[in-house]
Amino acid sequence: MLVQHKSEAIGKISLFQGLDVAELDQIARLCEERSFNVGEICQVEGQSMNRVNMILRGRVGAVVRIPNVTYLSSEIILDTLHEGDVFGWSCLIQDRPWSTLRVIDPTEVLSVDGTALLNLFEVNPRIGYVVMRHLAGLIASRLRRNRMSMLNAIVAIRGT
């Protein structure tokens, strides 16, 4: 994928909206393409990965395991990430992901090294400001979605 095409793809990701073409090109130069197969774990909670991944195609599910459950599947999908969503963003604020992700559909991503992206923010504070502002909104949105998923799971388990 050419830098220009990467820039166009990155421009569609909510985390990077509001950046101009030159700024998107700077990010695109840092990106590499990766793909994941169905069932593959592409992120493990608490395991350092230092990569921000932008989903171009496919779906991944944020999963949790219910301890001591043997009669049901012990894995519940709390949230599903689609085209345009980002995972691995926690490396921009800490070095460990907050969730485990399992690939639901064949998934293609643009992946960027978190340290390289933070270094770009230092060189171009406007990029850093725009991205971190969007990241704050993304975190708030995911917290709300996860809270609702957990409440729905509790209600389902209780049968109420």
- Domain chopping of the chain, boundaries: 33-158
User: What is the chain's pLDDT, residue by residue, as a tens digit (160 residues)?
Assistant: 666 699 999 999 999 999 999 999 999 999 999 999 999 999 988 888 899 999 999 999 988 877 766 655 667 787 899 999 999 999 999 767 778 999 999 999 999 999 999 999 999 999 999 999 999 999 898 788 778 877 877 887 776 5
Residue 81 to residue 27: CA distance in whole angstroms: 21
Give the separation between CA 29 and CA 4, rounded to whole angstroms: 9
State in words which class domain 33-158 has. mainly beta
Distances in whole angstroms, Cα of residue 82 to Cα of each of 56, 61, 102, 108, 160? 8, 9, 12, 11, 30
